[in-house]
């Protein structure tokens, strides 16, 4: 059995090579003391000791261009966030059962980034907790239990949300009343941009029909609007509307998981769903919200929350705590003051342009897609004149880039989509460096593939 359990870009200890004595010892310590579900990235894992902006440094002092990590979204160790957390922790760090300024100030500021109908917030510590809560709320509000997710969705690791996360693998059981739909096609794959929405909606309508045949009442359709683990699908803007309307027509809600596209990452809008011009019923968010400080949230329409509130109190010990709110507010400060959404848009376009140029020279690049600084690059091989997804070449590129000092990963059902998702301050110089090193890696990959 592959010890990675199907995880893309997982280190496989049985195939280990190139590890020095220190790395071997660290890995042995991990295997001894951490549970067996832990995984490392890369064939040659990286021992990181320091981070700054878009750079990570290993133990030997070598630096890596971070084109992958979306949690330190405003940059590793951003001083404004570090100072805000340190200042707040030194003054007060308590919970929401006392009246507190921090949680209200931030809640109002966060709500102001949403369309007016999305008017109430509940704080959690992780995106998993936010999605878990969103499912409880959706079930209460609709009286339904059926959940529709994409075929390779990832929404987190509580028992309930791991049950709607088929990307965790065949051994991780799906929950009851979970219905899978195919991820969207890209415009190139669909043949025409206008076919993308109806094809995605067809899948959702089929799932709804199956639910009806099973006597299951729909609760919600949930996906992230960048389809991160499904392989990155962003276009055309608006294509998700038809699927959402189909679910609503049957009494279900739409939950948008903004853990991946939220907080300016897609460049074109502060939230991924805004790119599509739709208004969800529930929005969840997490990872980049506190730049690494654990803070997450669920925002919803008050009428959606009413029934849950009438039945259930909800207290999340660290959720909405003073220091969490300080971290989250500082992140908003930096996104605004450093114009990171705009940077994401500009740098993202520059990278996509560069990738299309590479695609014209390397036929193994079969599709380039994404929005802002969330970009997917499909890798294919030539099989008897036909292009086929190649997880092997994608893995070689990911690991080849790692050897050249650039960190990315991959995703998608065929594990062949390069996932490029750097911290938002990634600028022109870093984009150029990234494209140069990718060019070099592609050259090497093509050489060994054809050798």
Q: Contacts with a second copy in 38-77 (CB under 8 A)? A: 38-41, 45-51, 56, 69, 71-72, 76-77
User: Angle at the Cα of 283 (from 280 to 284), degrees rounded to 5?
Assistant: 160
| Buried-exposed string 178-201: b where 16+ CB fall within 10 A, e elsewhere | bbbbbbbbbbeebeeeeebbebbb
C-beta closer to a second copy: residue 46 or 368 = 46
Q: How far apart are CA 445 and CA 433, in angstroms?
A: 18
Expressed in angstroms, the distance from the first to the final Cα of the chain is 29
The reply to whether 113 sits near a second copy by the rule CB under 8 A is no
The dihedrals phi and psi of 5, each to the nearest 5 degrees, come to: 50, 40
Give the span between the Cα atoms of 337 and 79, in whole angstroms.
13
Of residues 212 and 303, the one with the C-beta less far from a second copy: 303
Tell me how many residues contact a second copy (CB under 8 A). 104
Sign of the Cα torsion 4, 9, 15, 21 reads negative
Query: C-beta of 362: minimal distance to a second copy in Å?
Result: 28
Count CB neighbours of 11 within 10 A. 19
- Interface residue with a second copy, options 15, 104, 249, 448 (CB under 8 A): 104
- β-pairing, 374-383 vs 282-285, is unpaired
Please name the residues in contact with 90: beta carbons below 8 A apart, sequence gap of 6 or more.
none
SS3 (DSSP) at 123: strand
For residue 292, give both structure tokens: 């690494």
23 binds a second copy (CB under 8 A): yes
Residues 114-153 that bind a second copy (CB under 8 A): 119-122, 125-129, 132-133, 135-136
> Does residue 174 bind a second copy (CB under 8 A)?
no
Shortest distance, position 146 Cβ to a second copy, whole Å: 15
Torsion, Cα 394 174 260 9, to 10 degrees, reads: -20
Q: Which of 13, 16, 30, 391 is the binder for a second copy (CB under 8 A)?
A: 30
In this structure, the chain runs to a length of 451
Nearer to a second copy among residue 10 and residue 234 (C-beta): 10
What is the closest distance, in whole angstroms, from the C-beta atom of residue 363 to a second copy in the complex? Answer: 31
Identify the helix (H) or strand (E) that includes residue 147.
strand 146-150
The binding track of 284-323 with respect to a second copy, each residue x by CB under 8 A or -, is --xx----xxxx--x-x-x--xx-xxxxxxxxxxx-xx-x
- Where residue 78 falls (left for φ over 0; alpha for ψ -120 to 50; beta otherwise) is beta
Between 89 and 435, CB nearer to a second copy: 89
Please report whether residue 360 would count as binding a second copy according to CB under 8 A: no
Q: Are 23 and 45 in contact (CB under 8 A)?
A: yes
Which of the residues 209 through 268 are near a second copy (CB under 8 A)?
A: none
Q: How far is the CB of 224 from a second copy (least distance, A)?
A: 14
Token representation of residue 397? 């590129």
Would you give the DSSP letter of residue 228?
T
Contact residue for a second copy among 4, 189, 206, 391 (CB under 8 A): 4
Interacting residue with a second copy among 2, 15, 62, 101 (CB under 8 A): 101
**Residues of span 368-407 touching a second copy by CB under 8 A:** none
Of the candidate residues 15, 62, 63, 94, the single one contacting a second copy (CB under 8 A): 94
The single residue among 158, 189, 206, 399 that binds a second copy, judged by CB under 8 A, is 158
Write out the two tokens for 334: 């930096």
Position 15 contacts a second copy (CB under 8 A): no
| Only segment of 87-95, 263-271, 383-391, 422-430 that touches a second copy (CB under 8 A) | 87-95
Site string for a second copy, 175-214 (x = CB under 8 A): ----------------------------------------
């Amino acid at each position: 059995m592959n010890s990675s359990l199907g995880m893309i870009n997982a280190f496989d200890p049985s195939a280990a090579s190139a590890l020095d004595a220190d790395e071997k010892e660290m890995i042995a310590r991990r295997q001894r003391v951490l549970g067996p579900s832990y995984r490392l990235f890369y064939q040659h894992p990286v021992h990181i000791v320091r981070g700054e902006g878009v750079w990570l440094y290993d133990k030997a002092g070598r630096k890596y261009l971070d084109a992958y990590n979306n949690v330190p979204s405003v940059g590793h160790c951003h001083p404004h966030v570090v100072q805000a957390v340190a200042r707040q922790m030194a003054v007060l760090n308590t919970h929401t059962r006392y009246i507190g300024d921090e949680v209200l100030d931030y809640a109002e500021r966060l709500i102001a980034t949403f369309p007016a109908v999305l008017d109430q917030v509940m704080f959690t510590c992780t995106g998993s907790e936010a999605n878990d809560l969103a499912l409880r709320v959706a079930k209460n509000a609709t009286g339904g239990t059926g959940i529709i997710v994409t075929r390779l969705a990832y929404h987190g690791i509580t028992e309930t949300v791991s049950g709607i996360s088929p990307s965790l693998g065949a051994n991780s059981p799906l929950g009851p009343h979970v219905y899978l739909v195919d991820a969207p096609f890209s415009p190139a794959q669909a043949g025409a941009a206008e076919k993308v929405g109806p094809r995605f909606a067809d899948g959702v309508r089929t799932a709804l029909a199956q639910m009806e045949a099973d006597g299951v009442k729909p609760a919600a359709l949930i996906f992230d609007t960048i389809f991160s683990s499904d392989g990155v699908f962003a276009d055309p803007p608006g294509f998700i509307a038809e699927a959402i309307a189909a679910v609503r027509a049957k009494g279900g809600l739409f939950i948008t998981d903004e853990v991946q596209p939220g907080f300016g990452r897609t460049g074109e809008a502060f939230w991924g769903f805004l790119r599509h011009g739709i208004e969800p019923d529930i929005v969840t968010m997490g990872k980049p919200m506190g730049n690494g400080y654990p803070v997450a949230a669920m925002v919803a329409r008050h009428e959606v929350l009413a029934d849950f509130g009438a039945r259930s109190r909800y207290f999340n010990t660290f959720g909405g705590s003073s220091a969490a709110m300080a971290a989250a507010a500082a992140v908003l400060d930096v996104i605004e003051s450093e114009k990171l959404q705009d940077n994401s848009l500009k740098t993202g376009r520059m990278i996509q342009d560069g990738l299309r140029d590479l695609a014209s020279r390397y036929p193994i690049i079969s599709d380039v897609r994404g929005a802002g600084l969330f970009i997917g690059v499909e890798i294919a091989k030539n099989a008897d004149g036909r292009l086929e997804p190649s997880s092997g070449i994608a893995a070689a590129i990911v690991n080849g880039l790692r050897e050249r000092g650039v960190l990315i990963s991959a995703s998608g059902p065929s594990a062949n989509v390069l996932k490029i998702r750097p911290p938002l301050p990634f600028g022109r110089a870093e984009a150029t460096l990234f494209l140069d090193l990718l060019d070099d890696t592609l050259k090497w990959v093509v050489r060994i593939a054809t050798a």
